[in-house]
Structure 1
Amino acid sequence: MDRTQAYNDVIRFHGHECPGAAFGVRVAEAALTALDLKDPGTPLVLVSETDACAVDALQVLTGCTYGKRNLIHQDAGRNVFTLWERDGSAGVRIRAKADSIVFRTEEIWALAGRIDDGTATLEDRAAFERLQGERISALLGVADDDILVVEKVEAAAPGVKHLARTDLCVDCGEPTSVETLHDHRGRMVCPACHLAAHGGVLPEGHGDHGHHPQSHKHHHEHKHEHKH
């Protein structure tokens, strides 16, 4: 992988230069190297534990996207990515190394705070851009061991969801995947209408729905009556 070209490709997709995008390039590069793919077109599955900038780099460079359903978002607020071959029995987990340049310094956080609240001076903005640019250059140039922790995962790749047919929500009338419809007292409703039926708060003990809406039946006592 040509790292500079990869970064430029990511920026065109992401929309701006930033350290997060540079970090994502390094994660993708390390993950693909660790998997040692024989065929560059091998289908992959990615679990991302962040919704920050780096995930855009993974989408561009691994081919895992939300639209193909082989990018699974499990937001844990941390820079951790796990990648498998789609039919693989083992994968690779990559996380940001603590106290590395992946993370902003207190100075950068302070500058960003002033920019966000509108109190930044021109000097603040120039300093922020300079420091971020230095981080980008460093992230694209340092050794993997300086910024990444790479671990093998001895577990099969998670399954990729298949497209499901749609059915109408009986309340709002909007076509909704049958995998997300809820059986509310015998009425198949979409998640939004289901939430409204409970006054905006789902009751304690409410579980995940199954693969078919008929498997998602409530066994708890309803405290909110839906108005029609």
Structure 2
Amino acid sequence: MSCQISPEQIDATIAFHGHSCPGLAIGIRAAELALRELENPRDTEIVAVVETDMCGVDALQFLLGTTMGKGNLIHRDHGKMAFSFFRRATGKGVRALLNPAARGGMDDEMAELMQASGDGTATEAQKNRMTELRAGLQQRFMTLPLEEMFCVTPVEQGAPRPPKILESLACAHCGEKTMESRTRRFAGQTLCIPCFQMVEQKI
């Protein structure tokens, strides 16, 4: 089944992100899945945990209202095309991992063309083919049934806890105020992470 998010919302999401691309389409469909599985929660009820920093995260921010500033968008730098969604009121959670089959076997050709584009050797024909493949992949992502787009599994441990306001401590080296939970102790001093890394580095 094609994407059920309205064309107007899709256009607004593209405007928010700045361009249309396959990565953004993944995020749009992930947001659609979250709304379906969690029964249309308000943005203050939903938490998104993303395992990537790609374009699709912007779609989640725009369509779901999940943001780092509100504490309901959490980035875990795992390099996976995976998104977990939770509804705080019920504790229900699901994880959606992009199904490799959703890419329709285009990866090898895409990788070759992207390499040529990246090193500046792509011919005009290769550039045109890349544009054609990207458009086809984006269209595929926007029309696949969600069940074919993602591998979905329940998440049992519940939503991450809401953010807490903690004391800020002055770093003993640079003097800058740092949230207590992000400080490190070294040689009896309280340090921010950058200063700790400078004195603790092993190489």
On whether the aligned pair clears a TM of 0.5, the verdict is yes
Q: Do the aligned partners of residues 112 and 177 (structure 1) sit closer, same or farther apart at CA in structure 2, a change above 3 Å counting?
A: same
Of residues 79, 82, 88, the one that matches 1:80 is 82
Paired with 1:160 and 1:21, the residues of 2 have a C-alpha distance of: 27
Q: Which segment drifts farther, 67-76 or 127-136?
A: 67-76
Question: What is the Cα deviation at residue 25 of structure 1?
Answer: 0.6
Question: What is the Cα deviation at residue 14 of structure 1?
Answer: 1.9
Q: Could you say which structure has the higher helix fraction? A: 2
Question: What is the Cα deviation at residue 107 of structure 1?
Answer: 0.9
Paired with 2:164 and 2:173, the residues of 1 have a C-alpha distance of: 26
> Which residues of 2 match residues 1-228 of structure 1 at below 5 A?
2-37=5-40, 40-101=42-103, 104-198=106-200, 200-201=201-202
Question: What is the Cα deviation at residue 172 of structure 1?
Answer: 1.0
Computing the radius of gyration over CA atoms, which structure comes out larger, 1 or 2? 1
Q: How many residues align?
A: 200
Question: What is the Cα deviation at residue 185 of structure 1?
Answer: 2.0
SS in 2 for 1:82: strand
Q: Using the aligned pairs only, state the percent identity.
A: 32
Q: Which segment drifts farther, 80-89 or 125-134?
A: 80-89
Paired with 1:105 and 1:177, the residues of 2 have a C-alpha distance of: 42
Q: Do the aligned partners of residues 109 and 166 (structure 1) sit closer, same or farther apart at CA in structure 2, a change above 3 Å counting?
A: same
Given that 1:42 and 1:85 are in contact with CA atoms closer than 8 Å, whether structure 2 keeps it comes out as no
Counterpart amino acid of residue 161 in structure 1? P
Q: Do the aligned partners of residues 54 and 103 (structure 1) sit closer, same or farther apart at CA in structure 2, a change above 3 Å counting?
A: farther
Question: What is the Cα deviation at residue 29 of structure 1?
Answer: 0.3
SS in 1 for 2:63: helix
Counterpart amino acid of residue 2 in structure 1? I
Question: What is the Cα deviation at residue 102 of structure 1?
Answer: 7.2
Question: What is the Cα deviation at residue 103 of structure 1?
Answer: 7.3
Given that 2:168 and 2:180 are in contact with CA atoms closer than 8 Å, whether structure 1 keeps it comes out as yes
Paired with 1:85 and 1:154, the residues of 2 have a C-alpha distance of: 12
Question: What is the Cα deviation at residue 96 of structure 1?
Answer: 1.0
Q: Do the aligned partners of residues 69 and 33 (structure 1) sit closer, same or farther apart at CA in structure 2, a change above 3 Å counting?
A: same
RMSD: 2.0
Paired with 1:103 and 1:30, the residues of 2 have a C-alpha distance of: 23
- TM score, norm. by length of structure 2: 0.89
Question: What is the Cα deviation at residue 161 of structure 1?
Answer: 2.1
- Gaps in structure 1 of 5+ consecutive residues: 203-228
Moved over 6 A (4+): none
Q: Once the two structures are superposed, what CA deviation does each residue of 1:21-43 show, in whole Å capped at 9, x if it has no partner?
A: 00111111011101113x53552
